[in-house]
Amino acid sequence: MTATTAPTVQVRVTAVLQKLTGGQKTVEAKGTNVNEILTDLEARHPGFRQQMFAEDGQLHRFVNVYLNDEDIRYTGGVDTVIKDGDVIDILPALAGGGR
């Protein structure tokens, strides 16, 4: 990898986002951090960022993004650095109910 080549990662998405990826469960994206990955996904699959971010520019609270099984909210948020071959999972937040 050269200094001008952004890492390539696999991004796994759930059914809600698959409507934007042409039904693909896994797509490739390039970027040096999570924000760049999401921007690349928007360029390849218009409407992607709108599903991910609130109007204030923050990730929707009901969207969880994991980099190699680690929640990015605890590893630097969208500024979390990406390495070639990393895997990102984008999942809806689930809430349990009380009785």
For residues 11 and 62, the model is more confident at 11
Work out the number of other CB atoms within 10 angstroms of the CB of residue 12: 15
Task: Give all domains of the chain, ordered by start, each with its CATH number.
Answer: 8-92 (3.10.20.30)
Residue keyed to tokens 């390539």 = 8
Q: Measure the CA angle with vertex 13, ends 64 and 73; round to 5°.
A: 20
Residue 98 pLDDT class (50, 70, 90 cuts): low
Instruction: Report the pLDDT averaged over residues 36-47.
Output: 95
Average pLDDT of every residue of the chain: 90
Instruction: Report the pLDDT averaged over residues 8-36.
Output: 95
Q: What percent of the chain has pLDDT over 90?
A: 70
For residues 1 and 63, the model is more confident at 63
